[in-house]
Amino acid sequence: MRFGAVPLDQAEGAILAHSVAGLRKGKRLTDGDVAILRAAGRGEVIVARLDPEDRHEDEAATVIANALVPDPAAQGLRLSAAATGRVNLHAMRPGVCVIDAGAIHALNRVNPLITLATVAPFARMAEGDMVATVKIIAYGVPAADVDQAARAARGAMRLAPPACREATLIETTVTGEDPPPKGRKALADRLARLGIGLSARVIVPHRAPELAAALAAAPGEALFILTASATSDPADVGPAALVAAGGTVTRFGMPVDPGNLLFHGDLGGRPVIGLPGCARSPALNGADWVMERILCGLTVTADDIARMGVGGLLKDIPQRGRMREA
């Protein structure tokens, strides 16, 4: 692509680089446009002229976006029409965004004028949310670079939809009185963002045998535990009850604050998440990062949680009772 000022008698068919004389930048100049520029007293104009081996910005953005999302229905992503060298990718349904970061990095290394920006990996999306944007910075880029970028990032993004329709929350009580409703409401609101319902309320004494029995009898496809007293050891009531019910604990504790006291595991193929006390607040905490992935059918390993420490210092939550620097 050639870029720069040209005399008006060479401007027809070129792409206007900057808005001038009522003509918008990016316009392919016609004979009439040249006449308008001449009438405005212009003797030359800054333009971009594509060479045969170049692709126009809109065509380039479309090629790359189609490579990213070759199967929109399966990937849960919808493409916008190209305009000003940009194609946006939107979520077709709720879910979490699964991204091949290495492929995206490879695309962005091909040519600085070819760019793709995405949300963070595993970001929770609502229907219609923008997940990524392809932007071609110049008015045209080499076709060979476009093809290389498209190959690098083919199918590199998808939206993982919710894998269940209903969850069960089991709460424990120390006093025999029903726990305040805020914890259940906070979880219900979180689940609703993914279109998941919450089954009838279950409250049991804060003892492992009763909690184990409730876990075994719970109807939900995913199970949550919110104990009256914070879980402080892998042998504490929550994890012990999961094991007693025949389940397994994948990990207790996570390097995300708030959220340190989370545990999660499995019971007969159903995910089980022991919520930290901070989950009673609607504020972001480590449990959000784990439950959203699990609810969307993604495996969360102990190593996955270990890697959450970088960036895991979240805004403190006053409702947790004891602040970090209290």
Please list, residue by residue across 268-285, b when 16 or more beta carbons sit within 10 angstroms of its beta carbon and e when fewer do: eebbbbbbbbbbbbebeb
Across the range 57-86, mean pLDDT stands at 98
Per-residue confidence band for 318, with pLDDT thresholds at 50, 70 and 90? confident
Contact 264, 250 (CB under 8 A): yes
Q: With beta carbons less than 8 A apart as the criterion, state whether 77 and 133 touch.
A: no
Helices in the chain by DSSP H: which ranges?
Answer: 31-39, 57-68, 72-75, 101-110, 143-152, 182-192, 208-217, 237-244, 286-295, 302-306
Q: Which domains does the chain have, with CATH numbers?
A: 2-49 (3.90.105.10), 54-160 (3.90.1170.30), 166-320 (3.40.980.10)
pTM summary value: 0.90
Q: What angle do CA 130, 315, 186 make, to 5 degrees?
A: 70
Contact in structure between 137 and 113 (CB atoms under 8 Å): yes
Tokens linked to 207:
């003892």
Q: In what order do the strands lie in the sheet with 15-16?
A: 2-7, 44-49, 15-16
Q: Which residues make Cβ contacts (< 8 Å) with residue 168, sequence separation at least 6?
A: 198, 199, 202, 218, 219, 220, 222, 223, 224
pLDDT of 321 above 70? no
Could you read off the pLDDT of 232-281 as tens digits, one per residue? 999 999 999 999 999 999 999 999 999 999 999 999 999 999 999 999 99
pLDDT value at residue 317:
82
Banded model confidence at residue 289, pLDDT cuts 50, 70, 90: very high
Give CA 202 to chain center in angstroms: 32
Report how far residue 135's alpha carbon sits from residue 60's, in angstroms, rounded to the nearest whole number. Answer: 9
Question: 192-222, pLDDT tens digit by residue?
Answer: 999 999 999 999 999 999 999 999 999 999 9
Query: Is the Cβ–Cβ distance between 47 and 14 less than 8 Å?
Result: yes
Query: CA 106, CA 112: separation in Å to the nearest integer?
Result: 11
How far, CA to CA in Å, does 6 sit from each of 49, 61, 75, 85, 131?
10, 27, 45, 23, 40
Q: How many angstroms separate the CA atoms of 244 and 249, rounded? A: 11
Beta bridge partners of 313: 257
Whole-Å CA distances, 61 to 107, 150, 232: 12, 10, 52
Q: Which amino acid, one-letter code, is at 41?
A: G
Rounded mean pLDDT, 292-306: 97
Partners of 167 in beta bridges: 198, 222
pLDDT value at residue 172: 98
